[in-house]
């Protein structure tokens, strides 16, 4: 009879093996693997960039650059146990930060082009323009956590891996970002 530890170890090895199979296909530059990755993550990379830049064309360019950078760097990819999407978000974060720094101004965000599911956010937003103005007033890290958690539906673990932070740090950052959004949306709300 197997012990609970042996069963857990076996399951972890099976999960790791399943996770590395797609990575191996990506490293081998198999077109279908790259197409699947692109189909699964392009819109998420676009939304992530769009929340920070507010520019449709620039966001498309950044999303495309994420996949070009991923193709250039896939041979150096190291499995850390986090999903490959976390690696893509780190690339997107770096590329987006470079573009934003080059623009040397705070972005004016219009969320009209972002596909959102807003039923989960009970912030009392009248329209996307209100939300856009408020998100633009957040710090870059707060914008990133909002983009990951609410616009791209990332779990806390995925967001933590993408941001290079602990789950607790992401929870705190998200809490502060939502509190700041509430204050911006309703200045008379209790602090």
pTM equals: 0.59
pLDDT tens-digit series, residues 128-152: 667 777 888 888 899 889 888 888 8
Instruction: Give the integer Cα–Cα distance in Å for 23 and 37.
Output: 10
Task: Tell which residue, 123, 42, 27, has the closest CA to residue 79.
Answer: 27
Q: Tokens for 102?
A: 């080059």
pLDDT tens-digit series, residues 71-114: 999 999 888 888 899 999 999 999 998 888 776 554 444 454 45
pLDDT band (50, 70, 90) for residue 14: very low
Instruction: Give the integer Cα–Cα distance in Å for 40 and 16.
Output: 20
- Tell whether the model's pLDDT for residue 125 goes beyond 80: no
**Radius of gyration of the chain, Cα coordinates, nearest whole angstrom:** 19
Residues 6+ apart with CB under 8 A from 136: 54, 106, 107, 108, 109, 143
Contact by Cβ (8 Å): 143, 93? no
Average pLDDT on 156-180 reads 90
């Amino acid at each position: 009879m197997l012990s609970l530890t042996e069963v857990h170890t076996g399951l972890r090895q099976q999960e790791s093996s399943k996770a590395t199979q797609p990575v191996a296909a990506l490293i081998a530059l198999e077109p279908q693997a790259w197409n699947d990755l692109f189909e699964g993550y392009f819109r998420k990379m676009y939304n992530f960039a769009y929340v920070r830049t507010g520019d449709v064309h620039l966001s498309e360019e950044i999303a495309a650059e994420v996949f070009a950078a991923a193709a250039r760097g896939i041979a150096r990819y190291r499995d850390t146990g986090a999903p490959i999407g976390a690696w893509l978000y780190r690339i997107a974060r770096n590329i987006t930060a470079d573009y934003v720094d080059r623009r040397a101004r705070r972005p004016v965000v219009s969320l009209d082009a972002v596909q959102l599911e807003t039923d989960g956010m009970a912030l009392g937003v009248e329209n996307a323009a209100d939300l856009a103005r408020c998100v633009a007033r957040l710090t870059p890290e707060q914008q990133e956590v909002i983009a990951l958690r609410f616009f791209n539906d990332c779990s806390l673990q995925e967001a933590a891996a993408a941001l290079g932070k602990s789950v607790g740090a992401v929870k705190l950052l998200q809490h502060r970002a939502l509190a700041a959004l509430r204050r911006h949306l309703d200045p008379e709300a209790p602090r």
